Structure 1
Amino acid sequence: MTTSPIPTELLVPHFAQKLAFETDASDVHADQERGTRFALIDSRGTAAWAQGRISGAMHMPTAEITDRAPAELPIDMPIVTYCWGPGCNGATRAALEFARLGYQVKEMIGGFEYWAREGYPVEDEHGPIVRAKDPLTAPLGSVACAC
C-alpha cells in the first residue's frame, strides 16, 4: 500500500540525504545571484550544448570529466551537474564521475528543461534566449515558488 506509515527514524535520514545530494533550478539560480562559488557543469553532448544551455555553465560532457576536471577545476570547487531533465540520468552519471575524483558535487534535479521552463537565463552561441516562465513549473507573479 502506498500510504503505509513509515517510521520517522527512516523518513528523516532519507529526506535529509536527498537534500544533501540534490539541488534544484531555483536554488542554483539563487546561488548564482548571490555570487556563491561553484561550477555549474552541463554534462550533455556538443549538439545539446549548442542548442541551448544555462548561462554561466561550463560544458564538460560526462565522458570528458575524468581527463578534464583535474586540469580545469580546483579540487575544492563545489560542483553542480545538470543534463536534459528529469527523464535523463546524465547529471547523475556526471556527478558520480566528479565524486570519484574527490569533488564535492550535487545534481540539479529537473536539469536544463526545468531551468528553462522556470524562466532562468538561457543562451546559445548567438547569445541570450528569452523564454517565458511556464506556469506549470513556476509562479508567474513571483520570483520563487517559496516551497
Structure 2
Amino acid sequence: MDVFLLRASLSHDESVAESHRYLSPEGRRIVRALGNKVRLDDEPNFDHIVSSPLPTALQTAELFADRVDYVGVIEVLPSLTSRVPPELVVPTLLQRGNTIAVVADEPVLSGLGAFLIGRPTFPPLLHAQVSVIRDRQPAWCLRPGEIAKSLLLVA
C-alpha cells in the first residue's frame, strides 16, 4: 500500500481567508512540475485521489491528477480540514485502494503521516511537497525545486 501525502501548493494571497484562496501562477507551475516528476520517476497507478475541500487543495489535486494521468474522480473529504483525529480519518482513506494520494494542508498531513507509520511525529510538509509512505513505512519525499527524491527521515 502506498500513500502519497501532498500539501496544497502556493496560494495567491496569504492575507485572504483560507476558504477564498486560490493557487498562484507559481503554485500552479510548481505542482505541475511535481506531478510530471512523480509520473516519470515512480509511474504510480493511483486507485484514488482524495482532497480537502479547500480551494488550494482541490486545485492542487486537479493539477497533480492531470500530470500523473489519473482520470478518476477526486473525492472531497471534509474531515481533511477539521480537527478530526487521524485514527478516525485513516480507515476511510485505506478503504480507497492500494495507491492513494491525499491532498490537504498542515497540520492534517503530518498528523496522518505520524499515525500511518505509528510514530508520535512526522515531518511537516512544505507547500507542494509530496511524502510517500509505503507499507506503513516512510519511503521518500520530493520537495518543490528539488530534482531528486530524498529519503523520508522521521524521528
Higher helix share: 1
User: TM-score, normalization: structure 2?
Assistant: 0.34
User: TM-score, normalization: structure 1?
Assistant: 0.35
